[in-house]
Amino acid sequence: MSKLITLHEFIVSRQKDFPFATGELSRLLSDIAFASKIVSNDVRKAGLVDHILGAQGGQNIQGEEQQKLDVVADNAFINAFRNGGEVCGIASEENDDFVAFESQAAQNANYVVLFDPLDGSSNIDVNVSIGTIFSIYRRVSAQGSRATLADMLQAGTQQVAAGYVLYGSSTILVYTTGNGVNGFTLDPAIGEFFLSHPDMQMPENGRLYSVNEGNLNDFDPQLRAYLAYCQSNDNQTGKPYSGRYIGSLVADFHRNLIKGGIYIYPCVPAAPEGRLRLLYECNPLAFIAEQAGGVATNGKTRILEIEPSALHQRVGLYIGSKLMVEKAMGLH
C-alpha cells in the first residue's frame, strides 16, 4: 500500500514552489482546510437543523438562533482568516462590502481571500452537493495599512492560489497554487484530508454538457447551434452527449474536471451580465481549469484576463474541456 499523504504534509512539501516561501500561504491554506471541516460537519447536519433542531433562521430547542447554513459557512471562513493572521482582508459573496481586518497583525499580512462560502445554496434544502470556492491574491496596498478595494479588484491572472471544497458524497478539497491541481478527500472519522486525486488533468474532450436548458429560448444562435451539436450524432462520439446540470457550479465543475465536459452560463435577459460572479466563482475555477488543461472564457475574453470593476461583478461563463469550449466558441 502506498503511503497516505495528508493535506498538511503536501502543503509543506510544496512550500518551496511558492514565489514568496515564508510559510504564510501554507498556513493560509491550512486555515481554509480547517474552516472547511467545520462547514462540512455543519452541512452533514443540515437536515437535522431543519426538522429536529429547529428551522434555520428560527430558534432551536434551547432557544438559540439557528443561522442559515450559508451564513454559518461565511462566518466559519471569516473567523479562520481573522484568527489566522495571514490575511489583511476578505470579500465574500455573502457580504455587500469587503472586510478589512483591524488588528495590527492583519494589517501586516500579505494576502486577501475572495470566496463564495456556500455555492449552490438553493440545493441546501434538498440534500444536493454544495461547495465553497476561494481565491487568494497578494495585496497591492502597502503592508502595515488596511486592505483596500484595489486589493480585491485584481484580474484573475494575479491569483496566487485558488480552490474549492465540495461537500458531496464525500468532502473533497481541490486547489492549485499554479503548479498543477491536486485533490484531497476528507476522512471524517479522523478529520484529516488525504491526497486522493494527484495532478488532476481535465480530459481534452468529453461528452457531458451542463447548462440550464430552461433558458434555451434566450440563448444566442451560436450557443443554440452548439447545443444542437451536443445533442446530435455529428460529434466525435457519434451519439448525443449527456446533459448533466446539478445547479451547483462547484459540483458541475468538479464532475466535468474529472470526466471531461463543459459548463455554460451565458448572459441571458434575466441575467444580462451573466449569473456567476467573476471574483468568487469564475476566477478561481478558471485558474483551476487552466492548470488542469481546460479553458474558461466569457465568450470573448479569457476569464482570467477580465479586469474587475466591482466586487460582485457577474460575467458569462464557458468553462471546461479545451476542445469543447473551443467548439462552443465556434473555433472549429
Please say which residue, 74 or 116, places its beta carbon nearer to ligand AHM: 116
The listed partner (Mg ion, ligand AHM, none) that binds 207, CB under 5 to 8 Å by sort, is none
Residue type, 33: A
**Minimum distance, C-beta of residue 93 to Mg ion, in the bound complex (Å):** 6
**Minimum distance, C-beta of residue 180 to ligand AHM, in the bound complex (Å):** 25
> What CA–CA distance (Å, rounded) separates 321 from 201?
10
Q: Maximum distance among all alpha carbons in the chain? A: 62
Please say which residue, 129 or 291, places its beta carbon nearer to ligand AHM: 129
Length of the chain (residues):
332
**Minimum distance, C-beta of residue 317 to ligand AHM, in the bound complex (Å):** 9
The listed partner (ligand AHM, Mg ion, none) that binds 82, CB under 5 to 8 Å by sort, is none
Count of other CB atoms within 10 angstroms of residue 210: 24
Exposed e or buried b per residue across 272-295, where buried means at least 16 C-beta atoms within 10 angstroms of its C-beta: eebbbbbbbbbbbbbbbbbbbbbb
> What CA–CA distance (Å, rounded) separates 73 from 116?
9
Q: Which residues contact Mg ion by CB under 5 A? A: 116, 119
**Minimum distance, C-beta of residue 214 to ligand AHM, in the bound complex (Å):** 7
The listed partner (Mg ion, ligand AHM, none) that binds 41, CB under 5 to 8 Å by sort, is none
**Minimum distance, C-beta of residue 116 to Mg ion, in the bound complex (Å):** 4
167: enclosing H helix or E strand: strand 161-167
Please say which residue, 93 or 151, places its beta carbon nearer to ligand AHM: 93
Please say which residue, 73 or 200, places its beta carbon nearer to ligand AHM: 73
Please say which residue, 98 or 164, places its beta carbon nearer to ligand AHM: 164
